[in-house]
Structure 1
Amino acid sequence: MKAIQFNNLNKTPIRTKSWVNINDISLGELNVGEIKKFDNVIIKGIEGVDVQKLENNKILPLYREFQYGISEDLINQGKENFNQGYLITIGRNIKNDEPVIIEFNFDKDNSSLVDNLIIVGEENSKASIIVKYKSLDDSNGYHNGICTIYSKKNSEIKLTKVNFLNDSTIHFDSNVSDIEEDGKVDFISVDLGGKYSIYNYHGDLVGDKSAANINSIYLGSKDKLIDINYIVTHKGKRSNSNINVKGALQGEARKAFKGTLDFKTGAAKSVGAEDEYCMLLSKEARAKAMPVLLCAEDDVSGEHAASSGRIDENKLFYLMSRGLSYDEAKIVIVRAAFNPIIDAIGDNDVIEEILQEVDRGLKNE
């Protein structure tokens, strides 16, 4: 194990008062295992989508470079020192509703993963990719993932990332999408594990009538720390974005949500909205949020909201009066908030796995 400092991570595009303590996140010194071979990977492919394994030092830059990610050091580690990497190419005019599924399984022999995923949607294509990170035992783990998405003209890409890691694992996840004219990227994030879960997503709407949708759920238990930083930049005319986040915290879990909609000059007639809601299931849980609108274009529409609160006692009383226990009623209410996002994943087996993990997480606190 090697001790590494993780400080000033996941910085917001603009700074607010330092006493709010949301501009970035510092984890201090953490022990990280050696980055060696990671062999426990399962891939389910589909027709028309090419999944090609990447090798270190053999990647040519695709299209253009981006400024994104949790930190420069973590992005560089993902680019230069990954131990798993894949180039996923959705062929021109290919449209397939069945998902590509990539499952990274952690155990004592595969405990440190640095993965580099590149997804390219060629013109007029449509496909779904599901990536699962799963712990098979209780061993300490480290994950740093980077993902670059290129959505070409009139392509549609749905990327779902699911965190089933144990509560002894560090989880970093950085994503960026480059979306051309009439392109669309749907990003779904499901966070149900890890001791530290740090997320960064930057959607770049460069083309006219491009679209970026972010749907995210999280469940924090014990002393887990969650830090989420979602940014969508509107550059193309009539571009559209939506950020929808639902979460629940119990025990002494802590969460910080940072969401930014940035309308650049030239993004006329563009529309963006963001909404984050956190259910606090214990008195010790803590939630912070910083929704931001930045605007350099007059003719746009932007909405933002963030809130947190206890579960409605009237809802609990009603459900318990129908014979449910407190824990059962709590699960019903949390599931009701999560279900629209979970259902959008579109794969019944993955959906059932997520629902079981949500139930387990709520019962075990």
Structure 2
Amino acid sequence: MSVDVQLRFDREAITEFSKANQEPAWFLEKRLAGLKAAGELPLPALEKTKIDNWNFDQYEPFVTSARVSAATELDDVVKAQIDANAVKSLIVQKNASPVFHAAADELKSKGVIFTDLATALREHGELVQQYLLNVVAYDEHKLTALHTALVNGGVFLYVPKNVELDVPLQAVFEVAGDNALLCPHVLIVAEANSKVTYVDTYVSGEGRNMVANSIVEVYVGPGASVQVASVRSLSKDVHDYTFRRATVDRDGKMEWILGEMNDGNTVANNTTILKGTASSAATKTVSVGTGDQRQNLTSQVQHIGTHSESDMVSKAVMTGEATTILNGITKIEKGAEKANGEQAENILMLSEKARGDANPILLIDEDDVKAGHAASVGRVSEESIYYLMSRGIDREEAERLIILGFLEPVVAEIPIDEVKNRLRQALERKLG
């Protein structure tokens, strides 16, 4: 069903924003097609989660902010995520504006493009057009259509053939102010035999009735390796929707490391399409649900190529009256011989009023494959608590250590120390 509401934006506002950013005509056409589709398409159908009454289109989409000349001038909530005195390659977006950009000299010398999406559309429009909104279609559902119409920033990362980057590239996205929208599109293209790590964090400042609606598209070329880590720590006043998708060519490797630390309602879908022979994907997700928060988190891998491999691990901790749905989907298509897909969803319950559902799903259309899944929903082991208390640790600290140990296998994989430390602090805060 479609939802009829009074929107705070229209064709004229979208066209004005597009022209102000000197976007190519083809992208404005996509925006307007997205606006039309948003009025006709239903919301995504989510397992055991209704979002009809969530805020998905009541906001001001094009709230701009001034650029800053140094990382030390960024908002405190952003500076908390970075080492402001040692910035090398960083993009910062606040609401509808790229407010800071730094790129290490070696990137340009190697032919790497790392810039905000608005700049990429102006300066590399033909290259962006080859990939943008191809793996995520603008008309999949109402949220992707709204995203397409209202994209107000993002990142374009292009790594040429045979280029390997050892230092992670980082972005920070901030939403702040009443009725603000953060709508970034992250596009990563890794050509054959390249290697790159990209890390982003999502934070929020003061404000009410805020929304984040983001899309990440990743193209992993033959023999390329891409690692994407993302930590989202948005406040209770933000409804967060994110759709991540990667397509992986032969011998390519895709790794997702995801920290879902929001305090507000969250929808996240993470899908990897293993198209090529011997392509592989690893997905690690950690989440904490608190208060009356609602989360629907889906990890999915589609095996198309032969000898493709996937491994998904999702861990969640539930407190208060929070509800989290963890969906793991392994789809092995006909013809994907010798594919191997493994997944595990584990939820640790800390409250009798909290609800956690772990849903492992295997969809297999080929005989010559391996696939397995594991799922658990349970409470902290009394035996483990007793063991730690017998060594002089009080019960509260014993529970905290067990919970952090439960989540640490994912947290430890974050490739930037500052981000890793902030994720640990977010865990401490949410579990406090």
TM-score, length-scaled by structure 1: 0.89
The match for 2:53 among 28, 31, 46 is 28
Secondary structure, counterpart of 2:385 in structure 1: helix
Aligned ranges for residues 212-223 of structure 1 at < 5 Å?
212-223=281-292
Secondary structure, counterpart of 1:26 in structure 2: coil
Aligned ranges for residues 279-294 of structure 1 at < 5 Å?
279-294=348-363
Aligned ranges for residues 84-123 of structure 1 at < 5 Å?
84-108=153-177, 111-123=180-192
CA distance in 1, matches of 2:362, 2:42: 22
Quote how far apart the aligned CAs of 1:32 are.
Answer: 3.0
> C-alpha offsets along residues 287-308 of structure 1, whole Å, 9 cap, x if unaligned?
1122111111111000012111
CA distance in 2, matches of 1:298, 1:270: 10
Cα distance change, pair 308–89 in 1 and its aligned pair in 2 (3 A): same
Q: Is the 8 A contact 1:163 1:194 kept in 2?
A: no
Q: Is the 8 A contact 2:263 2:290 kept in 1?
A: no
Between structures 1 and 2, the one with greater strand share: 1
Aligned ranges for residues 193-208 of structure 1 at < 5 Å?
193-208=262-277
CA distance in 2, matches of 1:50, 1:213: 25
CA distance in 1, matches of 2:344, 2:305: 22
CA distance in 2, matches of 1:224, 1:70: 28
Which residue of structure 1 lines up, in the alignment, with residue 298 of structure 2?
Answer: 229
Which residue of structure 1 lines up, in the alignment, with residue 116 of structure 2?
Answer: 53
The match for 1:11 among 41, 45, 52 is 45
Q: What is the root-mean-square deviation of aligned Cα atoms in Å?
A: 2.7
Between structures 1 and 2, the one with greater helix share: 2
Cα distance change, pair 74–160 in 1 and its aligned pair in 2 (3 A): same
CA distance in 2, matches of 1:245, 1:74: 24
The match for 1:297 among 355, 366, 382 is 366
Count the aligned residue pairs.
354
Q: Is the 8 A contact 2:215 2:243 kept in 1?
A: yes
Code of the aligned partner of 2:45: K
Code of the aligned partner of 1:51: F
Q: Is the 8 A contact 1:42 1:104 kept in 2?
A: no
- What fraction of aligned residue pairs are identical, expressed as a percent? 25
Which residue of structure 1 lines up, in the alignment, with residue 227 of structure 2?
Answer: 158
CA distance in 2, matches of 1:255, 1:236: 32
Secondary structure, counterpart of 1:87 in structure 2: strand
Q: Is the 8 A contact 1:138 1:166 kept in 2?
A: no
CA distance in 2, matches of 1:148, 1:103: 17
Q: Is the 8 A contact 2:178 2:207 kept in 1?
A: no
Structure 2 residue 407 is matched with structure 1 residue 338: yes
TM-score, length-scaled by structure 2: 0.76
CA distance in 2, matches of 1:322, 1:360: 26
